[in-house]
Amino acid sequence: MRRQVPLILCFVFGIVMIFTQFIPHSLSQSLHQEVRQWYLIIFPFALVFSSIALIRTHVMRIRRRTEHWRYSFLIFIGILMMVVIGVPFGPQHHVFEWLFNNVQVPMDATMFSLLAFFIASAAYRAFRARTLEASLLLVTALIVMLGNVPVGDLVWNTVFAWLPWENATSGMKQWILDNPNLSARRGIILGISLGVISQSIRIILGIERSYLGGGD
């Protein structure tokens, strides 16, 4: 009951979603849409539950006075700020949009831009042209970076005037992206896709059960 029913549910819903996708009958399509809607209804509960789990973790941190426990209040403030405005009034409410544009978006962009510094220092340590493979990585990265900025063409156009492209580095960059890079990506995508399909079949057939967790 505790393990068999979830396995049956997973099998039934998985099979339904596969077959309904291939059957063009209106009944099959409406069943497909209905199950998709069920998914969209159930998923927010998972998110709310995971938020409760996060809140519980931080309540424990505050109770135990662990390191940096005072900052846990900021998580509550952040969630409350967005939920109190967003849930009753909707994401189109001007206060919610103001919070999104002036609090979340700047922090999001800044967090990602912070990586520019660390990625540069990591590259300095890691990119040593010791082997042919490392040299390929280094040279490709340099061409792509130079090809992304106008100064790359300005500097290298005279040196690489013999190349078939009007602008040397941006042309070379685009050729690399469209050919050797794309072929490597296709290889990776095909490999990942085969992995996703085999893993999905294992899950639907109940061979892969790790999502059930331990216990009975």
Partner 1 sequence: MEKIIGIWIAAFLTLCIYSFLYRDNPFYRFAEYLFVGVSLGYSIVLQIHQGLIPFAWQPFSAAVTGGSLTGLIKLIPIAIGLLFFAGLSPQQTWLIRYPSAILIGVTSGVAIPNVLQAHIFEQTRGTIGPFAAIHAGTLSGWGVFEAILMVVGVVCTLTYFFFSIEHRGPVKWVSKVGIAFLMIGFGSAFGNTVMGRVALLIQRVDFLLNDWFGTIF
131-150 positions binding partner 1, by CB under 8 A = 132-134, 136-145, 148-149
Query: How many of the other CB atoms lie within 10 Å of CB of 156?
Result: 19
59-78 positions binding partner 1, by CB under 8 A = 68, 71-72, 74-78
Q: Which residue has the tokens 């992995």?
A: 195
Write down the least CB distance from residue 65 to partner 1, Å.
16
Contact 160, 168 (CB under 8 A): yes
CA distance 114 to 90: 31
Task: Confirm or reject binding of residue 31 to partner 1 (CB under 8 A).
Answer: no
In angstroms, the Cα distances linking 109 to 76, 85, 100, 153 are: 22, 23, 12, 28
H/E element holding 212? none
152-181 positions binding partner 1, by CB under 8 A = 164, 173, 176-181
Site string for partner 1, 176-215 (x = CB under 8 A): xxxxxxxxxxxxxxxxxxx-xx-xxx-xx------xxx-x
Site string for partner 1, 77-106 (x = CB under 8 A): xxxxxxx--xx--xx----x-xxxxxxxxx
Task: Confirm or reject binding of residue 29 to partner 1 (CB under 8 A).
Answer: no
Write down the least CB distance from residue 207 to partner 1, Å.
12
**Closer to partner 1 by Cβ: residue 16 or 157:** 16
Write down the least CB distance from residue 67 to partner 1, Å.
10
In angstroms, the Cα distances linking 157 to 145, 146, 147, 184 are: 15, 12, 11, 28
Write down the least CB distance from residue 161 to partner 1, Å.
18
Which residues have C-beta within 8 Å of that of residue 75, sequence separation ≥ 6?
54, 55, 58
